[in-house]
Amino acid sequence: MRTTRKRSGLRSLVGALVVSASCGAAVAAAQSSEGEVVVYTAAQSTIVQAIGPLFEQRTGIKARFVEAGTGEILKRARAEAANPLGDVLWALGAEGMAANADLLEPYTVADDGKIAAIYKKGLAGGRITPNNVTPMVIVYNRKLLSEAEAPKAWRSLADARWKDKIAYAAADKSGSSYTILATLLTVFGDDDTGWKVVEDVMRNAKILPSSSRVPKGVADGEYQAGLTYEDAAMRQVKGGAPVGVVYPQDGTSVPPDGNAILKGAKHPRAARAFMDFVVSKEVMDLLAQKFELRSARTDVAPPAGFPALDAIKVVAYDMEWAGKAYPTLIKRWQDIIVRVK
């Protein structure tokens, strides 16, 4: 009953609410057995709707979901660190998770052996389990550009021909967009040459505030092409939008979304069960077949219409470097934006 003491002075106004709050607290206490797990997730709502009931069916544990963007969830988890209210993080941008590794509890999932080793690098010493992976791609509007006209490589986007014609989400607002910036610097070098390419691309680009706007804007014909990630672009393709997807010839990165248990989780056993479940073959097959997500597992085929990974030129992308270099790269990127916009 701590809650009533401090607010005793307000009783005349909020008395009724205090009573109901106490009831709420009692209910919460009654539910805090391991029959449930609280999942913080940035996964699409439709995926959450499909996986939640399936998990309960398989394990008898009720999964309660709090859905928000990666940044919002990590901020929330940090603010709650003294008294964590969530148990598991599911399908968050792995670089952001790695930057908040101190909030995470180490755990190795049951099927760890089935997860491709290349995706485990730079993931906070095994605290993060790769969930799905997604190459960075160029998306273009097929009504505005023929296949021959479409940009084939990152470097071609630096050409003045694309001035004001391409879309890019702000690197300080979108995790995937930061990955694209770091990928460009991996391809062209984190030096004056590489940054010259970045500056030329930014001069051409319209800077959008969120990553979901890029494929949508291209599909709607607002922009001829855009820099985005594979599954967002492919969902437009499958939905029947007039867009094409280009895997850049000069190489791209394939970073994972990750899962992890929060330190101090109130339902640790249920949390581990959830961690095992979401990367199980059953779930990953479902995600690939129904939701266009490329699995980090070696024994799950990519979604229909997605090229096999060996057909794509992949560069050696260093997640650890990308995480550490974040403040420096963002500052330099912002200075470029001021210069060219």
Partner 1 sequence: MVRTRRLDAWDGATGLAFVLLAGLLVLPLGKLLWASVTAEGGGLTWQHYAAFLGRPYYSRTIGHSFVVAGLVTVASLALALPLAWIVARVPIPGGPLLRTLAILPLVSPPFIGAYSWILLFGRSGYVTAAFQAWGVTLPTVYGMHGIVLALTLNLYPLAFLVASSGLRAIDHSLEEAAEGLGSPRWRVWRTVTVPVLLPSVLGGALLVFLTAFADFGAPMIIGEGYQVLPTVVYSLFVDEMGGPPAMASTAASLLVLCTTALLLVQWWLTGRRSYAMSQLRASPVERLGPAARRLCAALAYGVVGLSLVPAAIVAVTSFFEARGPVLHPRFSLGNYREILYNVPGALANSVALSSMSTVLDVLLGTLVAYLVVRRRSAVTAALDSAVMLPYAVPGTVVGIAYIVAFNAPPVVLTGTFLILVLAYWVRRLPYAVRSGAAILHQLDPSVEEASVSLGVPPLRTFLRVTARLMWPGIVSGAILTWVQTITEISATIFLYTAAWATVTVVIYRQVSSSNFGAAAAASTLLLVAVFVPVFLVNWAVTERADAAV
Scanning residues 177 to 196, which ones bind partner 1 (CB under 8 A)? 178
The CB-of-341 to partner 1 minimum distance in angstroms stands at 6
The SS3 of residue 77 is helix
172 binds partner 1 (CB under 8 A): yes
Residue type, 65: F
**Which range touches partner 1 (CB under 8 A), out of 122-130, 193-201, 219-227, 280-288?**
219-227
Alpha-carbon distance values, 226 to 40, 124, 205 (Å): 29, 31, 8
Q: Which long-range contacts (CB under 8 A, 24 or more apart) does 215-221 make?
A: 215/139, 215/243, 217/167, 218/139, 218/140, 218/141, 218/167, 218/243, 219/141, 219/243, 221/141, 221/143, 221/144
Q: Considering only residues 18-37, where is the footprint of partner 1 by CB under 8 A? A: 20-21, 24-25, 28
5 phi-psi bin (left φ>0, alpha ψ -120 to 50, beta other): alpha
209 binds partner 1 (CB under 8 A): yes
> Binding mask 128-147 vs partner 1 (x if CB under 8 A, - otherwise)?
--------------------
222 binds partner 1 (CB under 8 A): yes
Other C-beta atoms closer than 10 Å to the C-beta of 28 total 10
Q: Considering only residues 50-89, where is the footprint of partner 1 by CB under 8 A? A: 64-72, 74-76, 79-80, 82-83, 85
Q: Considering only residues 232-251, where is the footprint of partner 1 by CB under 8 A? A: 232, 235-236, 238-241
Q: Considering only residues 302-341, where is the footprint of partner 1 by CB under 8 A? A: 323, 326-327, 330, 334-335, 337-338, 341
CA 294 to chain centre: 13
Q: Smaller CB distance to partner 1: residue 28 or 110?
A: 28
